[in-house]
Amino acid sequence: AVAMIDLNSGTSIPQLGLGVWQAENDETEHAVAHALDAAGYRHIDTAAAYGNEEGVGRGIAASGVAREDVFLTTKLWNADQGYESAIAACDTSLGKLGVDYVDLYLVHWPLLDSDRMKRTWEAMEAIAESGKAKAIGVCNFEPHHLDTICGHGETVPAVDQVELHPHLPQNDLRAFAVDREIAVESWSPLGGTSNSGWGRASKPNTLLDDPILASIGEKYGKSIAQVIIRWHLSNGLIVIPKSVHEERISQNIDVFDFDLDADDILEISRLADPGGRVGAHPDEMNIGAPE
């Protein structure tokens, strides 16, 4: 069964959830409903910028699973950073999702404007205080960004959600996060999509064809995707593989009847690649930031 990971907010998060980036509202609704009612997921990760919060809300409603049994994450888009704008954006997201709180509200990207980022974080603290988010955190923050927003007694983000997979294991960031009691969540955990996103081209996914991962999977009768998800779990990471296909959604949570051994872990560690990033680097993602 999916483990719960304790967050520094005092709440806890199911270690495995469903990601929905680049899914339209209707396919999102269908994927979320399948994940919750058939596959047994209890954690959904979306963002205002994905344009599918309404689909997520409809999927939760259609699943028949009670709101309080679902861990729901959404994210604040760059254009809404700042104090008043962040508070308003949270309300807009809650409206689209059709809920009165989220379990986790994340700042989607760091900005070049660190003063604005600090005001955003004050708004995030107020949002947590008001109960509209049970926990608050960030995405794509490097250690220096974290120092900018929580260096002076401010709330420490509960999580940092970053691109992370065997080609980009983010060892330095993970060590920093452990030190600060920040949980790390892996986005593009399976190596991402080959579609472009955020106005830039992503690198093609080569992880899902990797022969080493395939041979590890053969030993256990598991797919490459299942081996990768097991790797995230064994590393204590929170993992949110994306799929809109029922069979894959079910397959991606069917990872609790096998485990990787020390040799597998060693072989996977050799896949780390200095050029392994597939998505945007935080420094390139000031897109839409207010003037």
Binding-site annotation, residues for substrate: 108
With contacts defined by CB under 6 A, name the span among 35-43, 90-98, 118-126, 190-198 that binds ligand A2P.
190-198
Q: Which is nearer to ligand A2P, 57 or 217 (by Cβ)?
A: 217
Contact with ligand A2P (CB under 6 A) among 121, 188, 260, 271: 188
Contact with ligand A2P (CB under 6 A) among 191, 210, 213, 238: 191
Q: Which is nearer to ligand A2P, 39 or 138 (by Cβ)?
A: 39
Contact with ligand A2P (CB under 6 A) among 62, 208, 212, 272: 208
57 binding ligand A2P? (CB under 6 A):
no
Could you tell me the smallest distance in angstroms from the CB atom of residue 180 to ligand A2P?
25
248 binding ligand A2P? (CB under 6 A):
yes
Phi/psi of residue 3, each to 5°? -75, 160
Distance (Å, rounded) from C-alpha 74 to C-alpha 133?
Answer: 10
With contacts defined by CB under 6 A, name the span among 36-44, 87-95, 173-181, 243-251 that binds ligand A2P.
243-251
Distance (Å, rounded) from C-alpha 97 to C-alpha 78?
Answer: 19
Distance (Å, rounded) from C-alpha 241 to C-alpha 238?
Answer: 10
Catalytic one among 50, 83, 105, 220? 50
243 binding ligand A2P? (CB under 6 A):
yes
189 binding ligand A2P? (CB under 6 A):
yes
Contact with ligand A2P (CB under 6 A) among 251, 260, 268, 271: 251
- CB atoms near residue 211 (< 10 Å): 8
39 binding ligand A2P? (CB under 6 A):
no
Q: Which is nearer to ligand A2P, 52 or 251 (by Cβ)?
A: 251
Distance (Å, rounded) from C-alpha 86 to C-alpha 116?
Answer: 11
190 binding ligand A2P? (CB under 6 A):
yes
146 close to 180: Cβ distance less than 8 angstroms: yes
Which tokens belong to 239? Answer: 């993992």
166 binding ligand A2P? (CB under 6 A):
no
83 is catalytic: no
The residues carrying an active-site annotation are 50
Binding site for ligand A2P (CB under 6 A): 19, 188-193, 208, 223, 225, 241-245, 248, 251-252
